Structure 1
Amino acid sequence: MNRLGATFSLTLLLLTGCSSGASTATLDGEAIYNKSCSTCHGAELQGAIGPALVSIKNKYTEADVLKLINEGSNRMPGHLVSEKEAEIVTKWLLKK
């Protein structure tokens, strides 16, 4: 029984360590943008198929940007990222 408990504890510890690293990577606004947004909005926010996002903070509030990311607009689909990722990328965009 002791060996089984030790094995279970070690496995749980290793799995926890693996999953925490993965979730940290997805919580980076720039990484989320590069993965989910840059194809249409450009690697440097300069625009491509979608509009430029340079100085987006001058045009939209945080709530507006979050709503656009979550719900989409005429040409942009919504729900391309999770709600948490949308919050993170919104804050990142507004700092650019």
Structure 2
Amino acid sequence: MENAWGTTGVWPSAIAHWQGAVRVGKAHTDGSTPPKGAFVYWNISQYGHVGIADGNGGIYASSIGGKIGHADSVSYFKNYLGWSDPQVPRG
């Protein structure tokens, strides 16, 4: 997902990206709808999972129906963590 923002290799995993967002105060866990382009995170493995918000409560991510796709809700995957602003500095 970071490639969608023109970067690569900034974060070793989705869960590391989430932890970075938490550290710099950019993580949102209040149940608010992620704005278009925001990163959304799930704790579904030791590496986590990340997608991009569509701005209407849905997401684009890999592993949707076995491919990169769209789901109508952040609840498509279990263990939703929250969302962060698109550009989260390493911290």
Q: TM-score range by the shorter chain?
A: under 0.3
Structure having the higher strand fraction is 2
Structure having the higher helix fraction is 1
TM-score when normalising by structure 2: 0.26
For the pair shown, the structure with the greater C-alpha radius of gyration is 1
